[in-house]
Amino acid sequence: MPRAATPALVFVNGTVILPDRLVRGATVECVGGRIRRIGRGRPPRGATVVDAGGGYVSPGFVDLHVHGGNGADFMDGTAEAVRTACQAHARHGTTTIFPTTTTGTEAQLAAMIAACAAVRRERSADAGARIAGVHLYGPYFAPDKVGCHPVAGRRDPDPAEYRRHFATGLVRIATCAAELPGALEFYRAARRHRCLVTCGHSNATWSEMARAFRAGMRHVDHFWCAMSSVASLRQRYGTPMQASMEQFVLAEPGMSTEVIADGCHLSPELLTFAWRQLGARRLCLVTDANRALDQPPGRYRFGCAEDGEWIESDGRVGFVPGGGALASSVVGLDTMVRTMRTATGAPLPEVVRMASLTPAERVGIARETGSLAPGKRADVLVLDRRLRVRRVFVGGAEFRG
């Protein structure tokens, strides 16, 4: 007997968020885990109907920079920790995720990448956010910009080491401080492996950024956090004062960056400045979330559970004990979207774009996900009128974790 046709999945009674506009009363019809059409009219006979309840139908969010959640850090290096974190972020609307390394030993980084690969292979409806690749973030940070990451695991780029990580085929985003010895060779190798090449935890000058750009670097991690400024470069070089990463990113049209819009890292004025200067096509929202996401206030390890640095969470943000320096966020991308919308007054399509299509474009997966469009994977959210996540669909399957 012929196989029965797969019933359509149709989202109705909501305002559809497209990259450039809102479409009220439209339907999103999905078949076989893909979006078939966006239009109007009644759902086809036999369709599974999802009522948005007068809220929003949104693309799933894409997080380029995220360390963990719900008590787990990706650097724990186990499949269980990876699943836990991916499920936690799915509850906050992230459907595509790039688990992010901290500083650590080569063995710890290898274990993290292997655990992510294992979970990626076992794809199931309850797995949470889909792993699109790993962000090789630590360990190649500037000595004076390590932040809350374990200092013992920081080092200059080692070609033998990073080539082994690139050879796994899983690294899709690769970070290195531009001023380090061997940084340009790292960038060129990452570009050959089709990574989004980024500079982070760096005290680089404009000239160092310009050389990095020529070598393939195109993105800067968490704008204004653990990055050079005119003031920090004066301490390094004296006078005349030097232009920093901030000026280079703002001036170079080929560069993008990201902000942590949790309401604690950056003021509304800084979020507004970033959006106005860079626009929604060059600015991404990321969580940079740690294992304290969805956990009560308290002390947590940042990085590997065995030897990561201790941080504290007050339920709103993470910070370094004693000094009060910020240490990653403890909230999901849904909070970033709501905060960015409130702080900037940016049009909702632009705010959602910064959490979905723009990061997908920067890392080269926009043909698959990042917006609601025919042919793309059915990564769809139902949001209420206050932009709170009500239902999550990854590849057309509802996540119920």
- Domain positions in the chain: 1-59+370-401, 61-366
pLDDT tens by residue, 124-135? 778 999 999 999
pLDDT tens by residue, 20-47? 999 999 999 999 999 999 999 899 999 9
Q: Which burial class, exposed, middle or buried, applies to 78 when counting CB atoms under 10 A from its CB (0-12, 13-18, 19+)?
A: middle
* Lowest-confidence region among 118-132, 202-216, 282-296: 118-132
User: Can you list the alpha helix ranges (DSSP code H) found in 195-332?
Assistant: 206-215, 230-237, 245-251, 268-278
Query: What does the alpha-carbon distance between residue 234 and residue 381 come to, in Å, rounded to a whole number?
Result: 46
Name the token pair of 138: 């630590």
**Strand 72-73 and strand 94-99: pairing?**
unpaired
- Which percentage of the chain shows pLDDT scores above 70? 99
Residue 123, pLDDT score: 77
pLDDT tens by residue, 146-190? 999 999 999 999 999 999 999 999 999 999 999 999 999 999 999
Residues 64-74 have a mean pLDDT of: 98
Query: What's the Rg (C-alpha) of the chain?
Result: 21
Give yes or no for a contact between 54 and 14, defined as CB atoms under 8 angstroms apart.
Answer: yes
Query: What does the alpha-carbon distance between residue 111 and residue 293 come to, in Å, rounded to a whole number?
Result: 22
What predicted TM-score, i.e. pTM, was given to this entire model?
0.97
CA distances from 69 to 77, 92, 370, 394 (A): 14, 11, 22, 19
291 vs 237, higher pLDDT: 291
Residue 256, pLDDT score: 98
Residue 126, pLDDT score: 86
Task: Give buried/exposed letters for 335-362 (b at 16+ CB in 10 A, else e).
Answer: bbbbbbbebbebebbbbbbbbbbbbbbb
Name 231's Cβ contacts closer than 8 Å, sequence gap at least 6: none
Residue 5, pLDDT score: 65
In order, the DSSP letters of 188-219 are HHHHHTTPEEEE-SB--BHHHHHHHHHHT--E
Name the token pair of 99: 């688990």
Mean pLDDT of the chain, nearest integer = 96
Topology annotation, domain 1-59+370-401: Urease, subunit C; domain 1 (2.30.40)
Residues 319-329 have a mean pLDDT of: 90
CA atoms 300, 303, 306, 311: torsion sign: negative
Residue 267: which pLDDT band, with cuts at 50, 70 and 90?
very high
E strand or H helix at 79: helix 79-90
7 vs 30, higher pLDDT: 30
Q: Which CATH class is domain 61-366?
A: alpha beta
Name the token pair of 15: 């305002």
Residue 262, pLDDT score: 98
Residue 260: which pLDDT band, with cuts at 50, 70 and 90?
very high
- Which percentage of the chain shows pLDDT scores above 90? 94
Nearest to 132 by CA among 83, 95, 162: 95
pLDDT at 2 over 50: no
Residue 324, pLDDT score: 76
